[in-house]
Amino acid sequence: MSESVFADSIVQNLLDTDFYKLTMMQAVLHNYPNVEVEWEFRCRNHEDLRPYLNDIRLQIERLAELSLSADQLSSLERISFLKPDFLRFLGLFRFNLRYIHTGVEDGELFIRLRGPWLHVILFEVPMLAIVSEVRNRARYPHITLETAREQLYRKFDWLSANASLEELSELQVADFGTRRRFSYGVQEEVVNVLKHDFPGRFVGTSNVHLARKIDMKPLGTMAHEWIMAHQQLGPRLIDSQIAALDCWVREYRGLLGIALTDCITTDAFLGDFDLYFAKLFDGLRHDSGDPVQWAEKAIAHYHKLGIDPLSKTLVFSDSLTLPRSLEIFRALRGRINVSFGIGTNLTCDIPGVEPMSIVRKNDGLQRPARGEDLR
Q: What is the pLDDT of residues 330-353, one digit of tens each?
A: 999 999 999 999 999 999 999 999
Asked, colleague to colleague, whether 19-141+356-366 and 145-347 share their fold, the answer is: yes
Please report, for residues 112, 131, 347, the alpha-carbon distance to residue 363 in angstroms, rounded to integers and kept in the order given.
9, 20, 28
Burial (CB count within 10 angstroms: exposed 0-12, middle 13-18, buried 19+), residue 88: exposed
Q: Which of 175, 139, 179, 177 is nearest to 11 (CA)?
A: 179
Answer whether residue 369 shows pLDDT above 60. no
Give mean pLDDT, residues 190-205.
Answer: 98
> Tell me: the pLDDT tens digits for 213-257?
999 999 999 999 999 999 999 878 899 999 999 999 999 999 999
The pLDDT of residue 368 is 55
105-152 residue pLDDT tens: 999 999 999 999 999 999 999 999 999 999 999 999 999 999 999 999
CATH T-level topology, domain 19-141+356-366: nicotinate phosphoribosyltransferase (3.20.140)
- Domain extent listing, the chain: 19-141+356-366, 145-347
The answer to whether the beta carbons of residues 57 and 254 sit under 8 Å apart is no
**Average pLDDT, integer, range 15-23:** 99
> How far, in Å, are 226, 238, 240 from residue 268 at the CA level?
17, 9, 11
CA dihedral 132, 135, 140, 145 (to 10 degrees): 30
Strand-strand pairing, 313-316 and 283-286: parallel
Q: Is 145-347 a CATH 3.90.730.10 domain? A: no
- For residue 119, the model assigns a pLDDT of 98
pLDDT of residue 62: 98
Q: Nearest CA to 369 among 121, 34, 120? A: 34
CA neighbor of 113 nearest in space, from 183, 60, 67, 181: 60
DSSP state of 4: B
